[in-house]
Structure 1
């Protein structure tokens, strides 16, 4: 509960800073980044709690390695999804239908690249998904 409040406080502070400091065009993008940063801060806080209660370190490095792999896969997938959406949007032009198609294309590319990279990086949690084992 306390960690959730801290995550929320960080998110509100960063989102407010984005709203006040960034140009209108970039405010929502900054808020998405603020959301990400607040949850990374929450991860850092949450990872420390079990170790503190147990009186020492519980992680033998596998937790950090898994999160590093997931972060790398998601960063690459986000870039690929963004590029695919941009390319699709540029090819299709303006309007609601092209925007929806570009969004769906970007999302599909992001998901496929993320799952492929997760498999290549041998993220064990992804092997539990049906069809990826």
Structure 2
């Protein structure tokens, strides 16, 4: 599904929007994979899959990702505006956006009490 949607984005969208479309295609294919996996797990587990818990977790993750994406974009733009255009200034701008994304997402996921974060810590 992802390959078909990404190819359609490449062929149908203007070059300026192709990567954005491909990111959306990835998100849609991931969502379809999640729905299929939940359905198969529900069938295999005989209905013992807690749909509410899965929905809550993914809602928290999606909300966190949406908020943090804006912050990462702003950090990247601020750094790019301060350093100018070109190959060399692009690396610090990318690093600023990536670090902002990682740190803000981890902090927000912790505030939203995403249970899976606790499993990342050693000894738990």
Superposition TM-score, scaled by structure 1 size:
0.84
Which deviates the most, 51-60 or 87-96? Answer: 51-60
- The runs of 4+ residues in structure 1 deviating greater than 4 Å are none
- The Cα offsets for residues 100-129 of structure 1, whole Å up to 9 and x where unpaired, read as 000000000001110111010011111233
Alignment of 1:117-132 (within 5 A): 117-130=108-121
Question: What is the match of residue 81 of structure 1?
Answer: 72
User: Is residue 2:78 matched to residue 1:96?
Assistant: no
1:25 counterpart residue number:
16
Match of 1:122, SS state, is coil
Written as runs of structure 1 = structure 2, the 5 A alignment for 1:1-133 is 10-56=1-47, 58-130=49-121
SS at match of 1:56: coil
CA RMSD of aligned residues (A): 1.7
Tell me the distance in 2 between the aligned counterparts of 1:100 and 1:82: 14
What is the CA distance between 1:56 and its match in structure 2? 2.7
Name structure 2 gaps, 5 residues minimum. Answer: none
- How many equivalent pairs are there? 123
**CA apart distance, 1:60:** 4.8
How far apart are 1:57 and its partner, in Å?
5.1
